[in-house]
Every structure is written in structure tokens, then in C-alpha cells.
């Protein structure tokens, strides 16, 4: 058992969270292997975003454990968790509006490269950080917008920048909260491709509503209903799962299949 | 084109070791500091220049919090003021021979003091951001101001602490007795501190501070402790504030608590940093110049100067929240595209009609003040060469007429200007788009 714990990239053990008297997360269990892509699905208000907030340290769980590479991270602060190799994006675009695209990405890079709170060196002289930021900018295809303030980007570009900041620090475990929310179909398709590309080799958890995206992206699907993970399996098995069908998926899968996924 | 730039690793980022434009600006700044007292030789001018010198440091240090860190501090005078007091005590000790510190290093003593107090008080202050931060700074400001009354041994009570800056003997004829020598001491500090604070904006901590200003929550998720970032910035700002305070102590040779650590003084720094422009690095420099002109010249000119100041502040907040600096930068952008000339008539119109309106308003304000404060001198008063009778209906009607006419014409000019400005901005956007497409 102890052997197992270290092999998982991210593990939730009987995780619970209450707001006041209402229990939102009611004993969630999940074990994600390194390099797996997991889509978290579930009806609105099932607690998907809360789960992300608990994992990333935005909220502290009421009880239960969160393990990152076998180490407890529940109750730690977001920046501590980030330093241990977990990074997340947000459902509502969360970037630095008055900094340029390049500066946004460079900010994401700095800590992981060990520059921390340095104020005795110039940014322009940090070649490795600048190069990394440049590479990221090319990965998310915003190199032409290098000096554009983030606030002036289009919505899709801002979403891409959000992903860029999230992966900038080189975290091995990435949480994306509805990365394609609010995008058009063609943008979504391109974006999924981008996400696959930039998270190659990393553990990925993503909250997603679009079933097409889910089945196109994920190795495994976790179904969250009323604060519990009621199923965690490959897309095929989840599709066939009777309990999931009843609880949530039925209509959503039919829709996705009708569209040819 | 793209292949050649991509092949050299140096072009990944724009690193210009010799940025000619920047070098030129800094040379001009240095030159200006050097020649200013040669151009304006009166003793009043020298006093003002000295004040501008250390206020530039103070306002820039304040803007490290406000403009770069998004921290609205209501207690910056705590750090300048305590810096002043420690500096003046150090001078007195040095004068007695108890402390071997030459005068040129006294501002650093002030700086270290400011830093020390920022380390102590800032730890509490920077725990929170936003409104809570502002409230705590206000509380600490009040605390220190009232402490100043409780410890007259240190703060000198109402009379303050005095000193004599000429204690070190002559060094190549420099005694720091004459005001001009003090000015140059201030100028050197002003230049070095300005350069250092500008350099700070290009460091990792400086950039993350901007990120904390923009979106503190996101910063937490890229590995940074936002409290720590604010705290470090606060300490550095405290250091420069203390240097400014130390220079003030040298300049005046007297420091009183009522003046130096008061909330009013903190408010002044806030107000003028904002007026100068918090969004640009050089904004507070303009703010410092305005502060001295307002407090020295405007206060001489009229008793109602605080009222005028309040009005100016009000209009700035409403119509140009980026301060004077943003107005300059916006027009520089227009000039860069060669379209400023077209706006010139509009500006003349705005200035002319604005002046008329201001004249009318000023007459009424001055008459009101005259009635309230100088009743014993009779209703007659002279204002800008004209004789007004503060109790005569004609004077009031005349002023009101001038004010309303001015306002009406100003509004007409303003509308035309807004139209023109919008059109020019569109043209510029268009040109930029075309440039990108090429």
C-alpha cells in the first residue's frame, strides 16, 4: 500500500469539505498515475471546481488527505503546493492584465528557475528565464503578441495565455478548470490540440463540460456527482457504466455520439 | 527576416546593453539637476529646488507601493518622518563627537531608520492587501503621530528637534553650510536613488510586485507568497523614504513631529504622487515638482490654495486618473504618429476658455475668503490687478458671468476636442494594424 502511494502523481483520500453545514465534497477518492490525462465531469454544482480548489490549496479541506507524489499537500498554501509541482488554471481568466504577454509568462517562470525575490539582478540578464518565456510564447502561439498587454488580447488568446502561465513553472501535475469554456467550436478543437501538446508527459486533470472534448482528450474520466467520485475509469468503461448513465451521463453521451465523436 | 532573428539566441528577448534613448534621458536628468541652481539663482528658487530633490525620492518611493504594488498607503510620512528624526539625532550626536558619521552619510542613516521601521511595522501592514492594507497604514500613521506627542524627549514636542548641519569641518571647502552645497548633496542622492528605484522596476522582485498589483491571487499559484512580495517592497520603499526624510532634516535643520509624521503629510505624498501619475515611473517626479510649487508658491499667492488643490485633485481623479504623466504619454503617442499639430488649436481653445472659467471661479472664491478672513479690511480687495468689492452685487455678477461664459465655451471646446481625439486615436489604431499586417 505504501508502495502504491508513491507511484501516484495525485491522490485524494476520503476528501471532505463543508461550507457551513453543507457538505460539498463528501468523501472523494481518486488516484491518478503520473502522465495520465484525467477529465473530471459531472453536473453543475457537483463540486468539480471545489475539488480543484481543495487540491490547489485555495481552500483547506475539512478532512481527508491530498497527496502529490506521495506527499501530503492538504492544508498547505497555494504557493507551497505550486512549488511542489502542482499548477492550475482558472475557469474565469486569471492573468496579469497590465503586463505584456511576455511578462506574464516570465512571471510564471521566475520562481521555478530559482530567482525568487531577487532584486539585485536585472530581468533582462536572466537568459534562461527569458528563453523559457520565449519558448512558452511560441508553444501557445502568441509570439506575435509579445509586447501586447494581456488585457488587450482576444478571449481565446487570453485563455491560451492562462494555460501558458499555468505550465510555465514546469509543474508535473497540471489542473485545468474548464479550459475551453466560452470558446467557439473551431477554437475549442484547436485549443484541445494545444493543451495536448503543451501538457505532454505531465499529469493532467481537467474539468470539462464539452463531452466531445472529454472523449478527445482524456485517458480516464472521473465522474463527480454530489461531491463524490462515483466512477473513475477509461472513457469506454465510463460510457458503459450503468450508474453513471443513471446519474448523469445518459443524455450528454448521446449528444456527443450524435455529433460523431 | 524571421529566420535570421530566430537563429541568434540573443534575439529571443530584447536586451539592449546600451539603450541610447534611455542613456540620453538619464544624462538630461543629471544635467538638469546640475544646472538648475545656475539658472534659477534666487534663494527662494534654491530652497524650492532642494525640496524638489528630496521630494522626488519620497514620491518615487511612495509610488513603489501605490503604482507598482497597488498598495494604497495612508502612512508614508511615518517612514520619511522617523527617518528624519533618526537622522537629526544622528547629526546631533555626530556634532557632539559621539558618533563618527560625516554629513554625506546622514541620509543613509535616515534610510536605514526608515527601513528598520518598515521591517517592524510593515510586517503587520503587508499581511493584507487592498482596503485592509489602507486601513492598517492609516492606523499605524495615527499611532506614530500620537506617539510623537507622548515622547517629547525623542520628538522634541511642539518645538521639534533642531540641529546644526555644519559639524564636520571643511572638506575641500565643502562645509554644507551654504544652501547651494546642500542642494548638490540632495541632487546627488536624488539622482542615485531615482536610478536605483528605476533599476528596481527591472528586477524579478519588481516585476512580481507588478503582478501582485494586477492579480494577487494568481501570483499565489505561480509559487510566490504575495505577503512576502509586498513586505519586501514595503521595506525597500521605507529605505528610500527614510533617505528622503534624512535629506529633509539636513535641509531644514529642524524637524517637528506635527509636520513630519502627520497624516496630513502622508496625504500630501499620496495626493501629489497621484497627480503626477502613478502608472508611470516618472509620474511622481512631476508630482514632487507640483507639490513644491503648490506648497511654496501657490500658498504665498492665495489663502485658498488648499481649496484649489482639492479641486484640481478632484478633476484629475475624474478625468485623468493616470495623472499628468499619462496626459504627457498620451500626447507623445499622438506626436509619434505626427498628429499632435492638428490638436494644437483645440488645446489653445481649451486652455483659453479654461482660464476664463478659472478666473471667474477664482474671483468668487477669493471674495468669499476675503469676506470670511479679512472683514476688518473692508469689502474692497484687489485680485490680479483688478479691484473687487466683495459686498457689491456687481462684482459677484461679473465673476459669475465670466465663470459661466468660460464654462460654456470650455464645454464647446471640450466636445470638439473629444471628437477630434477619438478620430485621431482611430487613425493611429488603423496605422498600427496596417503596420502589423505588413
Q: In what order do the strands lie in the sheet with A22-33?
A: A22-33, A8-19, A63-68, A71-72
Report CB contact under 8 Å: A83, B223.
yes
What residues of chain B lie within 8 A of the CB of A162, using their CB?
Answer: none
Q: How buried is A73 (Cβ within 10 angstroms: 0-12 exposed, 13-18 middle, 19+ buried)?
A: buried
pLDDT given at position B367 = 87
Assigned architecture for domain B23-322: Orthogonal Bundle (1.10)
Q: How far is CA A131 from the centre of its chain?
A: 24
CB-facing half-sphere around the CA of A154: CA atoms within 13 A: 8
How far is it, in rounded angstroms, from Cα B147 to Cα B137?
A: 15
* B-proximal residues of A, 227-256, CB under 8 Å: none
Q: What is the ipTM of this complex?
A: 0.90
- Low-confidence stretches of chain B (pLDDT < 50) are 1-15
Report CB contact under 8 Å: B203, A107.
no
Would you list the DSSP string of A19-85?
A: ETTEEEEEEEEEEEETT-EEEEE--TTSSHHHHHHHHHTSS--SEEEEEETTEE-TT--HHHHHHTT
pLDDT given at position A5 = 45
Q: Are strands A203-207 and A37-41 parallel, antiparallel or unpaired?
A: parallel
Please, where in chain B does CATH 1.10.3470 lie?
Answer: 23-322
| Minimal Cβ distance to A79: which of B205, B220, B436 | B220
CB-based contact B133:B107 (threshold 8 Å) = no
How far is it, in rounded angstroms, from Cα A103 to Cα B198?
A: 17
Report CB contact under 8 Å: B204, A97.
no
Radius of gyration of chain B (CA): 25
CB-based contact A86:A71 (threshold 8 Å) = no
What residues of chain A lie within 8 A of the CB of B224, using their CB?
Answer: 79, 111
Would you list the DSSP string of A106-170?
A: HHHHHGGGT-TT--SS-GGG-HHHHHHHHHHHHHTT-GGGTTSBGGGS-HHHHHHHHHHHHHHT-
Neighbours of B359 (CB within 10 A): 16
Report CB contact under 8 Å: B204, A98.
no
Domains of chain A are: 1-85+174-179+204-261 (3.40.50.300), 89-170 (3.40.50.300)
Q: Tell me the per-residue pLDDT of B396-418, one tens digit each, with 9 for 90 and over.
A: 898 999 999 999 999 999 999 99
Neighbours of B128 (CB within 10 A): 15
Phi, psi of A38 (to 5 degrees): -120, 130
| Minimal Cβ distance to A134: which of B13, B221, B229 | B13
Considering only alpha carbons, which residue of chain A is nearest residue B67? A98
What residues of chain A lie within 8 A of the CB of B228, using their CB?
Answer: 117
Q: Tell me the per-residue pLDDT of B166-213, one tens digit each, with 9 for 90 and over.
A: 888 777 888 888 999 999 999 999 999 999 999 999 999 999 999 999
How far is it, in rounded angstroms, from Cα A216 to Cα A209?
A: 12
pLDDT given at position A56 = 95
Do you know the residue count of chain A? 261
| B390's grid cell | 466683495
Buried b (16+ CB within 10 A) or exposed e, A76-86: bebbebbbbbb
Report CB contact under 8 Å: A122, B203.
yes
Q: How far is CA B20 from the centre of its chain?
A: 27
pLDDT given at position B9 = 41
pLDDT in tens, chain A (261 residues): 444 445 799 999 999 999 999 999 999 999 999 999 999 998 888 889 999 999 999 999 999 999 999 999 999 999 999 999 999 999 888 999 999 999 999 999 999 999 999 999 999 999 999 999 999 999 999 999 999 999 999 999 999 999 999 999 999 999 999 998 888 888 888 888 899 989 989 999 999 888 878 888 899 999 998 889 999 999 888 888 888 877 765 555 555 555 544
Query: pTM here?
Result: 0.90
Considering only alpha carbons, which residue of chain A is nearest residue B206? A119
Considering only alpha carbons, which residue of chain A is nearest residue B223? A79
Amino acid at each position: 500500500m505504501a508502495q502504491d502511494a508513491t507511484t501516484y502523481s495525485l491522490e485524494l483520500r476520503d476528501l471532505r469539505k463543508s461550507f457551513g453545514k453543507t457538505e460539498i465534497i463528501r468523501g472523494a477518492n481518486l488516484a491518478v498515475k503520473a502522465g495520465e490525462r484525467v477529465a473530471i465531469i459531472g453536473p453543475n454544482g457537483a463540486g468539480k471546481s471545489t475539488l480543484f480548489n481543495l487540491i490547489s490549496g485555495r481552500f483547506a479541506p475539512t478532512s481527508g488527505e491530498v497527496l502529490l507524489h506521495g506527499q501530503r499537500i492538504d492544508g498547505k498554501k497555494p504557493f507551497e503546493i505550486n512549488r511542489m509541482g502542482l499548477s492550475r488554471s482558472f475557469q474565469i481568466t486569471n492573468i496579469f492584465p497590465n503586463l505584456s504577454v511576455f511578462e506574464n509568462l516570465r512571471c510564471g517562470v521566475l520562481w521555478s528557475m530559482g530567482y525568487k525575490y531577487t532584486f539585485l539582478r536585472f530581468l533582462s540578464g536572466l537568459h534562461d528565464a527569458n528563453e523559457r518565456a520565449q519558448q512558452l510564447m511560441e508553444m501557445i502561439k502568441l509570439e506575435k503578441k509579445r509586447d501586447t498587454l494581456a488585457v488587450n488580447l482576444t478571449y481565446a488568446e487570453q485563455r491560451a495565455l492562462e494555460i501558458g502561465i499555468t505550465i510555465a513553472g514546469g509543474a508535473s501535475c497540471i489542473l485545468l478548470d474548464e479550459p475551453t469554456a466560452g470558446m467557439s467550436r473551431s477554437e475549442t478543437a484547436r485549443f484541445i490540440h494545444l493543451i495536448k501538446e503543451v501538457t505532454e508527459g505531465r499529469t493532467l486533470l481537467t474539468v470539462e463540460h464539452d463531452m466531445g472534448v472529454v472523449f478527445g482528450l482524456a485517458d480516464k474520466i472521473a465522474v463527480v456527482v454530489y461531491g463524490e467520485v462515483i466512477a473513475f475509469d477509461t472513457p469506454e468503461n465510463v460510457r458503459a457504466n450503468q450508474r453513471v448513465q443513471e446519474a448523469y451521463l445518459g443524455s450528454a453521451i448521446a449528444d456527443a455520439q450524435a455529433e460523431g465523436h | 527576416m524571421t529566420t535570421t532573428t530566430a537563429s541568434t539566441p540573443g534575439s529571443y528577448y530584447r536586451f539592449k546593453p546600451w539603450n541610447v534613448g534611455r542613456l540620453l534621458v538619464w544624462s538630461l536628468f543629471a544635467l538638469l539637476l546640475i544646472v538648475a541652481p545656475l539658472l534659477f539663482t534666487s534663494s527662494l528658487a534654491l530652497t524650492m529646488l532642494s525640496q524638489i530633490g528630496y521630494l522626488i525620492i519620497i514620491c518615487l518611493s511612495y509610488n513603489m507601493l501605490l503604482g507598482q504594488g497597488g498598495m494604497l498607503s495612508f502612512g508614508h510620512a511615518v517612514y520619511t518622518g522617523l527617518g528624519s528624526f533618526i537622522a537629526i539625532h544622528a547629526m546631533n550626536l555626530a556634532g557632539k563627537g559621539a558618533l563618527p558619521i560625516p554629513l554625506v552619510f546622514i541620509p543613509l542613516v535616515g534610510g536605514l531608520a526608515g527601513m528598520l521601521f518598515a521591517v517592524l511595522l510593515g510586517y503587520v501592514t503587508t499581511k493584507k492587501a487592498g482596503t485592509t492594507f489602507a486601513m492598517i497604514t492609516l492606523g499605524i500613521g495615527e499611532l506614530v503621530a500620537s506617539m510623537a506627542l507622548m515622547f517629547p524627549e525623542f520628538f522634541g514636542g511642539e518645538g521639534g528637534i533642531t540641529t546644526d548641519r555644519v559639524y564636520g569641518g571643511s572638506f575641500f571647502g565643502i562645509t554644507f553650510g551654504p544652501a547651494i552645497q546642500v542642494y548638490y548633496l540632495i541632487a546627488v542622492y536624488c539622482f542615485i536613488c531615482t536610478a536605483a528605484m528605476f533599476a528596481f522596476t527591472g528586477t524579478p522582485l519588481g516585476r512580481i510586485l507588478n503582478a501582485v498589483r494586477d492579480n494577487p491571487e494568481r501570483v499565489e499559484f505561480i509559487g510566490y507568497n504575495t505577503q512576502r512580495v509586498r513586505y519586501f517592497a514595503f521595506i525597500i520603499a521605507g529605505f528610500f523614504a527614510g533617505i528622503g526624510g534624512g535629506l529633509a532634516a539636513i535641509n531644514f535643520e529642524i524637524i517637528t513631529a506635527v509636520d513630519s509624521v502627520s497624516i496630513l503629510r502622508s496625504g500630501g505624498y499620496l495626493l501629489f504622487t497621484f497627480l503626477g501619475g502613478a502608472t508611470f515611473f516618472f509620474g511622481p517626479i512631476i508630482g514632487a515638482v507640483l507639490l513644491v510649487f503648490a506648497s511654496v508658491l501657490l500658498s504665498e499667492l492665495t489663502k485658498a490654495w488648499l481649496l484649489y488643490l482639492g479641486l484640481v485633485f478632484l478633476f484629475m481623479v475624474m478625468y485623468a486618473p493616470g495623472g499628468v504623466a499619462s496626459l504627457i504619454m498620451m500626447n507623445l503617442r499622438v506626436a509619434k504618429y505626427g498628429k499632435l499639430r492638428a490638436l494644437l488649436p483645440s488645446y489653445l481653445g481649451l486652455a483659453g476658455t479654461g482660464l476664463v472659467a478659472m478666473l471667474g471661479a477664482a474671483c468668487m472664491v477669493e471674495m468669499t475668503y476675503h469676506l470670511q478672513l479679512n472683514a476688518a479690511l473692508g469689502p474692497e480687495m484687489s485680485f490680479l490687478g483688478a479691484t473687487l468689492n466683495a459686498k457689491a452685487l456687481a462684482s459677484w455678477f461679473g465673476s459669475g458671468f465670466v465663470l459661466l461664459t468660460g464654462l460654456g465655451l470650455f464645454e464647446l471646446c471640450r466636445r470638439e476636442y473629444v471628437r477630434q481625439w477619438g478620430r485621431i486615436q482611430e487613425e493611429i489604431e488603423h496605422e498600427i494594424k496596417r503596420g502589423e499586417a505588413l
